[in-house]
Amino acid sequence: MTEEQAKPQGTPPPIPAPPDFPVTWENPEDGRLFWTRDRVHYPDQISPLTMSTFRETVMLGWHAAAAAYELPVIGPRGILINHYVYTTMMPVVAPPAEMAARGKRSEEKLKATLVRLGALWENEWLPEAKEHLGFWESFDLTAASLPALNDHLQETLKRFKRIYDIHFLCFFPSALAVGLFDELYHDLFSPEGALEPYRLLQGFDNKNLEGHRVLWKLGRQALADPVVRSALETDDAARIPDVLEDTPEGRAFLAALGAFLAKYGRCTDKFGLDSPSWIEDPTPVIDNLKSYVTQPDRDLEDDLAKLAAERERSVAETRQRLNGYPRPVVDQFEMLLGAAQAATMLIEEHTFWLDYGSTYCVRQVLLEFGRRFAAGGAIPAPGDVFFLTLDELRETAATLPQMNRNEMIARRRAEWERFRHVNPPSALGTPPPGAPPDNPFMRAVGKFFGMPPRPTGNTSLLRGNPGSAGKARGPAKVVRFLSEAGKLKPGDILIAETTLPPWVPLFATAAAVVTDSGGILSHSAIVAREYQIPAVVGVGVATSAIRDGQIVEVDGDTGEVRIVSSTQEA
């Protein structure tokens, strides 16, 4: 009997790897699992150090929160294939009766948390997060001895894992709250569009929106100063700090920019430890300022207040529609409305403190090892530390200066470059024989990551998930990194694989947003709704099917993107 004949009936065949993306499974059993790319968080390659650190922290944080809520999944396992992240979900294996009981307990625990989300964040989760951030800020990395730095790394990993305990303890009930509210709204009112329930969740402030308002005001300050304005209008973003240092007006503006970066500059354009923060490289911020001095004035605080007023009108109208419903239904609606409103804010707010605040601090610890390794000749340059795994970093630190990693790093850099421009498959391994479990939690997670787009059979028509209502037409600009954001002009359609919180300033420039990844609860969709620009998310192929300058039409209500012309209109 062949291996193919020995497979259980109904087991799908393995997914063939593309010719330019060879796959070698270190463990043959991994090839029998189903692996997918999480393009919402990791659209590009990441380093071995980021992946191995995340295995010991981020993924264990998922496992801890999943256990606390007794979810039907343990959590993800992750591997790097050609430097791209692939994950597989590990289900809890138990008899049907036990799984049913677990599911009931999980639902009860999640619902008990979601009604207290705001209080838990303010009174427990955020204060603890700030304590961890204070720990990192108070440690003098450059003055520490190597043994002290090693001890600090171990404490850092323990605290980083705890940060992600909190991250998932917050995210799981937040996603469920919005998912349940969406489902109840549709059950009660059968709205025509998928986005109608989200009008009741808009207009809540968060740290990412706050940071953008400060940056916008900085742009207005630059516009009012002839010296700073001239520099922003005529010089490249990378040169502007040196240019501004030459004048008193420029130095005063740089001080204001420094204050902004000190408070809001820990974020990076992509999620992970590899990318420099705005503090380390403020070029993306300056690119946004260059765009802002070309735009007409607007009051972002007033825009937020109007959005909140529209929300309150929608809430009042919906309560009128509930007249005559049984009291338990009304109570359930009010409970889920409050939970979903708190959750919508937290889905954005937590990234500022937990994701970017902690990741910046952990990156600085790893870079300190990189500086010492480079000084000792173990690696070519400090940033090359990210081409080591966490275990290799520990081994190098234990034997410095004897250990030499230069040949290994050269080999891994060559591998990185080889696969940097390929189009990795969305899935590898062996597909599961059946559909994923259908329960409120899994449906809520699906709203965050999005459903696979439906093919159209038409190369000029792309489909995704409705993200933000409205229609827009304009020239497309494909932006893969924030370093490319300077090409986005007012009226352009932003085309991206994903947008994370540091991309918020671009939403003030773009006429609409189209992303390859994400669902109605993704960052891209939430922020587009706050800026009231159309968005279609989870298109899958937008960045490869659309070219710069093509005229596209975006329909955020239907989730469709149409390529109108092959060149930019006059």
Q: What's the CATH code of the domain at 543?
A: 3.50.30.10
Write out pLDDT tens, residues 67-84: 999 998 888 999 999 999
Question: How many Å separate Cα 453 from the centre of its chain?
Answer: 19
Phi/psi for 564 (5° steps) reads: -85, -40
% residues pLDDT > 90 (the chain): 84
**pLDDT of 531 strictly over 80:** yes
Residue 422 lies in a domain: no
pLDDT score of 2: 42
**pLDDT of 306 strictly over 80:** yes
**29 versus 8: which is more confidently predicted?**
29
401 pLDDT band, cuts 50/70/90, is confident
**pLDDT of 467 strictly over 90:** yes
Please check whether residues 358 and 461 belong to one and the same domain: no
On average, the pLDDT of the chain sits at 93
Contact 560, 470 (CB under 8 A): no
Residue 547 lies in a domain: yes
**pLDDT of 524 strictly over 50:** yes
Please check whether residues 403 and 463 belong to one and the same domain: no
Query: What's the average model confidence in pLDDT over 354-358?
Result: 96
**pLDDT of 566 strictly over 80:** no
pLDDT score of 4: 44
Residue 427 lies in a domain: no
Q: Could you give the CA distance from residue 175 to residue 192 in angstroms, rounded to a whole number? A: 23
Write down the pTM of the prediction.
0.93
Please check whether residues 108 and 156 belong to one and the same domain: yes
Q: Could you give the CA distance from residue 503 to residue 494 in angstroms, rounded to a whole number? A: 11
Please check whether residues 523 and 405 belong to one and the same domain: no
Residue 431 lies in a domain: no
**pLDDT of 1 strictly over 80:** no
Query: What's the average model confidence in pLDDT over 495-510?
Result: 93
3-state secondary structure of 5: helix
5 pLDDT band, cuts 50/70/90, is very low
Query: What's the average model confidence in pLDDT over 507-512?
Result: 95
The owner of tokens 């009930």 is 173
pLDDT score of 455: 74
Helical (H) or strand (E) element with 468: strand 465-468
Query: What's the average model confidence in pLDDT over 256-268?
Result: 96
The owner of tokens 């370093």 is 483
Residue 362 lies in a domain: yes
264 pLDDT band, cuts 50/70/90, is very high
Residue 491 lies in a domain: yes
pLDDT score of 505: 92
pLDDT score of 567: 65
Query: What's the average model confidence in pLDDT over 238-253?
Result: 96
Please check whether residues 215 and 138 belong to one and the same domain: yes
**Token pair for 41:** 């968080």
Query: What's the average model confidence in pLDDT over 488-494?
Result: 94
Report the domain count for the chain: 2
Please check whether residues 139 and 238 belong to one and the same domain: yes
pLDDT score of 459: 80
pLDDT score of 6: 43
What is the C-alpha end-to-end distance of the chain, expressed in Å? 66
Instruction: Single out the residue in 359, 392, 410 at which a domain terminates.
Output: 410
The mean-pLDDT minimum among 152-166, 429-443, 456-470 falls in 429-443
Write out pLDDT tens, residues 139-179: 999 999 999 999 999 999 999 999 999 999 999 999 999 99
Residue 468: exposure state from Cβ atoms within 10 A (0-12, 13-18, ≥19): buried
Write out pLDDT tens, residues 98-113: 988 998 999 999 999 9
Please check whether residues 512 and 378 belong to one and the same domain: no
Instruction: Single out the residue in 410, 430, 464 at which a domain terminates.
Output: 410
Please check whether residues 398 and 328 belong to one and the same domain: yes
Query: What's the average model confidence in pLDDT over 417-421?
Result: 94
Domain that includes residue 276, residue range: 40-410
Please check whether residues 372 and 226 belong to one and the same domain: yes
Instruction: Single out the residue in 390, 410, 430 at which a domain terminates.
Output: 410
Please check whether residues 358 and 489 belong to one and the same domain: no
**Token pair for 36:** 């997918």
pLDDT score of 568: 56
**Token pair for 304:** 């937020």
Name, in order, each residue with C-beta under 8 angstroms of 345's C-beta and a sequence gap of 6 or more.
204, 205, 206
pLDDT score of 48: 97
Residue 499 lies in a domain: yes
Q: Could you give the CA distance from residue 351 to residue 126 in angstroms, rounded to a whole number? A: 11
**pLDDT of 133 strictly over 60:** yes
Please check whether residues 368 and 457 belong to one and the same domain: no
Residue 106 lies in a domain: yes
Please check whether residues 216 and 328 belong to one and the same domain: yes
pLDDT score of 9: 54
Query: What's the average model confidence in pLDDT over 123-128?
Result: 98
